[in-house]
């Protein structure tokens, strides 16, 4: 029987495929391993890992400025490493970019140290003026792929970074 995580990963894959990016950048993550593996095997997108989130932001910005469409997939704790690059480069210079962020904190997280940054992260992003959409058990999974495509379109329309944040580790459906 498919788990909530399995179904969520399928919807995330669908959403990314609808966006049809030229590049897929990621940081290794077991939570969304099926998503990363899917795009690493795909011949429709150039996929590669980045060693640090802020490096990924710089690479994705260069791809975007070069006229191609990147999508980056990272953990929410990685926003701490990349917030300066997002706000002072990507946002300041109006570079359209979709960043998909898997939640480490919140429902289902057992590492209390992670929660110290993850729980206030939506407020931090809001205070920094980074538009963020949150997906979790309150939004039906069948809507997640649409939210991802709308996030990508919103990034292109507004010429700024857009974060789509999702929690696939826990919630009412589990």
DSSP 52: S
Architecture of domain 4-166: 3-Layer(aba) Sandwich (3.40)
* Structure confidence at residue 173 (pLDDT): 45
Mean pLDDT of the chain: 93
Residue 13, both tokens: 């894959």
For the sheet with 161-166, list strands across it. 46-49, 23-26, 70-75, 97-102, 161-166, 131-135
pLDDT, tens digit, for every residue of 61-71?
999 999 999 99
pLDDT, tens digit, for every residue of 121-170?
999 999 999 999 999 888 899 999 999 999 999 999 999 999 999 988 76
Q: What is the pTM of this model?
A: 0.94
């Amino acid at each position: 029987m498919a788990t909530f995580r399995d179904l969520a990963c399928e919807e995330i894959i669908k959403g990314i495929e609808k966006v049809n990016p030229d590049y897929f950048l990621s940081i290794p993550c077991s939570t969304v391993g099926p998503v990363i593996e899917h795009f690493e095997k795909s011949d429709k997108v150039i996929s590669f890992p980045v060693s640090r989130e802020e490096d990924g932001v710089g690479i994705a910005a260069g791809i975007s400025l070069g006229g191609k469409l990147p999508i980056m997939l990272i953990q929410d704790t990685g926003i701490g490493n990349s917030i300066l690059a997002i706000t002072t480069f990507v946002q300041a210079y109006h570079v359209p970019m979709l960043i998909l962020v898997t939640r480490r904190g919140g429902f289902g997280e057992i590492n209390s140290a992670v929660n110290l940054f993850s729980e206030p992260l939506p407020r931090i992003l809001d205070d920094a003026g980074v538009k963020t959409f949150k997906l979790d058990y309150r939004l039906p999974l069948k809507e997640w792929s649409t939210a991802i495509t709308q996030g990508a379109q919103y990034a292109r329309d507004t010429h700024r970074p857009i974060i789509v944040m999702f929690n696939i580790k826990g919630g009412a459906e589990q």
